[in-house]
Amino acid sequence: MPPKTNPLKLNPLQCKTLVLFQELARSEETSNILETGDKVLTTLPQPHGNHFHVGRKVVMTADATGLNNPAVWTALERKGLIRGSFPYALTLTRAGQDYDTGIADRILHGSDH
């Protein structure tokens, strides 16, 4: 049986934010890997217009409101998906990297520039 999608019952904003953290963790330009396998995110994206770039993907600014929301960071940390010190530092745990939100394909779009 395949693993259940969103087993921790993250709300939509938490799911969207975690997807963005996961994509940032995939890029060497925006993350560093620790010996534990956790990834420290070194840069959060800056929007321009109605979108911004996350690695090789494009995300609509409306899908990224959780990046600057301390309550979202707190909830993801409480569930063991990140370790953070809002808004200064964020480490995506192995559990956070592997978590299946089921929505990545809906908010990460291919880049045309």
First to last CA, the chain: 39
Q: Which amino acid is at 92?
A: L
Is residue 1 domain-resident?
no
Is residue 88 domain-resident?
yes
Is residue 61 domain-resident?
yes
Q: For 3-32, what is each residue's pLDDT tens digit?
A: 789 999 999 999 999 999 999 999 999 999
What's this model's pTM, rounded to 2 decimal places?
0.93
Would the pLDDT of 112 be above 70? no
Buried b (16+ CB within 10 A) or exposed e, 1-12: eeeeebebebee
Q: Please count the structural domains in the chain.
A: 1
Is residue 2 domain-resident?
no
Q: For 48-57, what is each residue's pLDDT tens digit?
A: 889 988 878 9
Q: Whole-angstrom Cα distance, residue 39 to residue 25?
A: 6
Q: For 93-104, what is each residue's pLDDT tens digit?
A: 999 999 999 999
